[in-house]
Amino acid sequence: MTTTPHVTVERDGHLAVVTIQRPDKLNALNPAVLRDLTHVFRALVDEHASAPAPAEASASGPVRVAVLTGAGRAFVAGADIAEMAGMNSVEARRFAEAGHQLCALLESAPFPIIAAVNGPALGGGCELALACDFIHAAEGAKLGQPEVNLGVIPGFGGTQRLTRRVGAGRARELIYTGDMLTAEQALAIGLVNAVHPPADLLARVREVALKIASRGPLAVAAAKRVILRGEDIDLVAASELEAQAFATLFGSEDQKTGMTAFLQKAKATFAGK
């Protein structure tokens, strides 16, 4: 298990569970937490990029899926207001840039990241969750962008990612009012994918994560890349990206493994090459 002052990483084969460890402050984000999270995820991305393809498939090796969650009662209750209150414009810009860099790293990682929202995910916490591929939440969790209550706006990408996730109208209302959503309300508008009893959240998310980790890792990575790149271009160009990625995968051993196993009615075990 990798440990930094504010983040721990638990490895289970191809799965990494990343936990923010500042429970006494409800995992509130400050520059140190942002640095630790960036360090941990950059290390996982670098490991994924540099790991040699194994000679044969195994349960160990580079991460194929990650789960991001928080210790204690909160996912991330927001930015640390006590530290943020005294910032000037230059310091605030630096803080926002650190948050944007972290969220961009999560969004572009070559493996899926699932947010397991175990409690409040507000402000920067909601923005971290939005930078993940999708969100599962515990009953009783709250999500929202309440920054206008403090006289500011979301600073880590919330105005952009929330709009893309739930649509412009809903995002505008949530951001302008600063209202918080229950997990069930977030589920109803597509902000989260599923809601679970708190005691079951991590187990249920692990089930989904391990299912993803068992699929063709090159295919999963390609799907994530094409979805992300296709969001901001026209349909014709996005479809071309998809066709090219589809064709490229036919040069992989994973494609041969997967299709051979299907024809033989066997379970495919992918090597990631």
Q: How many CB atoms lie within 10 A of CB 172?
A: 13
Mean pLDDT for the stretch of residues 16-39: 97
Active-site annotation holds for 127: yes
Amino acid at 130: L
Q: Which of 91, 62, 97, 231 minimizes the C-alpha distance to 161?
A: 231
Together in a domain, 92 and 199:
yes
CA distance between the termini of the chain: 26
Together in a domain, 245 and 188:
no
Q: How high is the pLDDT of residue 1?
A: 56
Q: How high is the pLDDT of residue 51?
A: 62
Q: How high is the pLDDT of residue 57?
A: 40
Together in a domain, 203 and 73:
yes
Write down the catalytic residue from 10, 107, 127, 139: 127
How far is CA 80 from its chain centroid? Answer: 21
What span, in angstroms and rounded, lies between the C-alpha atoms of 159 and 147?
11
Q: Which of 193, 211, 229 is the last residue of a domain?
A: 211
Write down the catalytic residue from 107, 147, 207, 253: 147
Amino acid at 48: H
pLDDT in tens, 96-119: 999 999 999 999 999 999 999 999
- Residue 232's pLDDT band (boundaries 50, 70, 90)? confident
Query: Which residue range forms the structural domain that includes residue 68?
Result: 2-211
Q: Residue 58 pLDDT > 60, yes or no?
A: no
What span, in angstroms and rounded, lies between the C-alpha atoms of 187 and 110?
26
Together in a domain, 131 and 37:
yes
Q: Residue 244 pLDDT > 60, yes or no?
A: yes
pTM over 0.85: yes
Q: Are 124 and 99 in contact (CB under 8 A)?
A: yes
Q: Total structural domains in the chain?
A: 2
User: Alpha helix (H) ranges present in the chain?
Assistant: 31-50, 81-84, 89-108, 124-131, 158-166, 168-177, 183-188, 201-214, 217-230, 235-248, 253-263
**Is position 205 within any domain?**
yes
**Is position 271 within any domain?**
no
Q: How high is the pLDDT of residue 55?
A: 43
What span, in angstroms and rounded, lies between the C-alpha atoms of 20 and 169?
32
Q: How high is the pLDDT of residue 3?
A: 75
